[in-house]
Each structure stands twice: as structure tokens, then as C-alpha cells.
């Protein structure tokens, strides 16, 4: 199973901004215990690379990826750290080509038809629709995605998605997974609120599983 197929199976990806790498394994354990062993750790903090490396090394059952990957150097770094996939908030052709070169599954961020056209042109199979809610929400995605349906491109919306809205997004046939920071907030990670994170992850995973079961 490819990494994006694995992500599609979970349907919901915790987006993480972690301040201290010492919290990485406890975070991973909370997500694993909750039945949601997947996360995008964003490169927005000093701790991110080390957190990815620890989880990749000591919790191999986690599907661990890197977010906010802005260029080829960072792509190289996250691959060295053991990330199994990477995403970026916008679309940068050089980074897409580097990811293809490295063999690292990569989803660039898209918000316009031009972005999506470039993603298709440069061989992406998955894109991150970002910032999903602020960019026009589901009506915008529906309009944007339709002209590209025949290409087989799939979407991972993130930005402003919550437990209450996640299934609205998952109901779109080209959406394979949603991402969101509500499951494990930076504050809850710093405070060591593992029970809270475990519970939110468990609820999100349960909602995603039920949605999949009810919708074939």
C-alpha cells in the first residue's frame, strides 16, 4: 500500500506543530493508542526535524510525514529524518521535481486552478487544498476539482477543518483525507495533555471509520 493510500485509509491527519522534541514519542504513543497512527509534523519549529526522526526511528508503526516543506533542502532534510511523505502550503515546481527524484511522496499546496494544473503537469497524484476553509470551503473545492477529475488527482484539504466539518469534506469523491491541528494542539503537546490528544484522535478516527463504513 502506498503512503497516500494509507493516509486515505485513515482519512484524517493530525497536523502538528511541536515545540520540544522530547514530547515526540509521547505524542506518537497517544496517536497510536487512539488508532490514528498518522501525523504531519510541520517544519515551523526548531524541534520538528528531531521529532520526525525520533518517531520514524522508534515508532515505525506511525505513518509520519513532514509539512511546511518549502524547498529542496528541507525535502532532503525530512527524508534523511525518515519522513514517509511531505507536504507544502504552496506549489513549488523545483520541490515537486526533487521529491520525484528522491522517491518521496509529496503533496504540494494548491488554491487555484493554475496551481492544480501545475500539480497535474508535474506528476502529482495528491495535492493539499490549503487554506481550505478560508479559500472558499467546499463550494470552492467542488468548482476547482471538477475540471481535473479525469486526471485522477486527489485532494487533502487542510485549514480551518474541524471535527464538525470533516465529514462534509470527506463526502467529496476526490477528497482522500482531511488534515487539522485540532487533534493535537501545540499547547496540549507542550502541557503533556496526552489523554486529551488521545481522546480527540480516537473520536476523529472513529468518525472517519464510521463515515467510510456508511458510504462504502
- Total chain residues near ligand 3PG (CB under 6 A): 13
Q: Is 128 a catalytic residue?
A: yes
Q: Containing H/E element for 195?
A: helix 194-214
Q: Is 40 a catalytic residue?
A: yes
Q: Which of 69, 181, 189, 200 binds ligand 3PG (CB under 6 A)?
A: 181
Is 71 in contact with 103 (CB distance < 8 Å)? no
Catalytic residue among 5, 40, 146, 199: 40
Task: Pick the closest to residue 168 from 131, 115, 132 (CA basis).
Answer: 132
**CB 216 to ligand 3PG: min, Å:** 27
Per-residue interface string for the shown chain with ligand 3PG, residues 147-166, x marking contact by CB under 6 A: -----------xxxx-----
Task: Pick the closest to residue 135 from 116, 157, 114 (CA basis).
Answer: 157
Distance in angstroms (rounded) separating the CA atoms of residues 107 and 88:
7
Backbone angles phi, psi at 66, to 5 degrees: -120, 135
Residue 51 binds ligand 3PG (CB under 6 A): no
Catalytic residue among 22, 61, 72, 128: 128
Residue 179 binds ligand 3PG (CB under 6 A): yes
Task: Pick the closest to residue 160 from 187, 140, 190, 188 (CA basis).
Answer: 140
Distance in angstroms (rounded) separating the CA atoms of residues 55 and 57:
5
Which part of the chain contacts ligand 3PG (CB under 6 A), choosing from 56-64, 76-84, 99-107, 178-186? 178-186
Active site residues: 40, 128
Binding region for ligand 3PG (CB under 6 A): 15, 42, 67, 130-131, 158-161, 179-182
Amino acid at each position: 500500500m502506498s503512503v497516500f493510500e494509507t493516509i486515505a485509509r485513515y482519512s484524517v491527519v493530525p497536523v502538528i506543530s511541536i515545540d520540544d522534541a522530547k514530547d515526540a514519542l509521547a505524542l506518537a504513543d497517544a496517536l497510536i493508542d487512539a488508532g490514528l497512527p498518522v501525523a504531519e509534523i510541520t517544519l515551523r519549529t526548531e524541534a520538528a526535524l528531531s521529532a520526525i526522526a525520533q518517531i520514524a526511528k522508534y515508532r515505525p508503526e506511525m505513518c509520519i510525514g513532514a509539512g511546511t516543506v518549502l524547498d529542496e533542502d528541507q525535502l532532503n532534510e525530512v527524508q534523511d529524518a525518515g519522513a514517509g511523505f511531505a507536504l507544502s502550503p504552496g506549489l513549488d515546481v523545483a520541490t515537486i521535481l526533487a521529491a520525484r527524484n528522491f522517491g518521496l511522496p509529496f503533496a504540494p499546496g494548491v488554491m487555484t486552478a493554475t496551481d492544480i494544473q501545475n500539480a497535474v503537469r508535474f506528476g502529482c497524484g495528491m495535492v493539499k487544498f490549503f487554506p481550505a476553509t478560508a479559500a472558499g470551503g467546499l463550494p470552492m473545492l467542488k468548482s476547482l476539482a471538477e475540471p481535473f477529475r479525469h486526471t485522477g488527482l486527489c485532494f487533502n484539504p487542510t485549514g480551518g477543518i474541524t471535527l464538525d466539518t470533516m465529514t462534509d469534506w470527506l463526502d467529496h469523491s476526490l477528497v482522500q483525507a482531511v488534515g487539522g491541528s485540532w487533534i493535537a494542539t501545540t499547547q496540549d503537546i507542550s502541557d503533556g495533555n496526552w489523554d486529551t490528544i488521545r481522546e480527540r484522535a480516537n473520536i476523529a478516527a472513529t468518525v472517519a471509520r464510521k463515515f467510510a463504513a456508511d458510504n462504502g
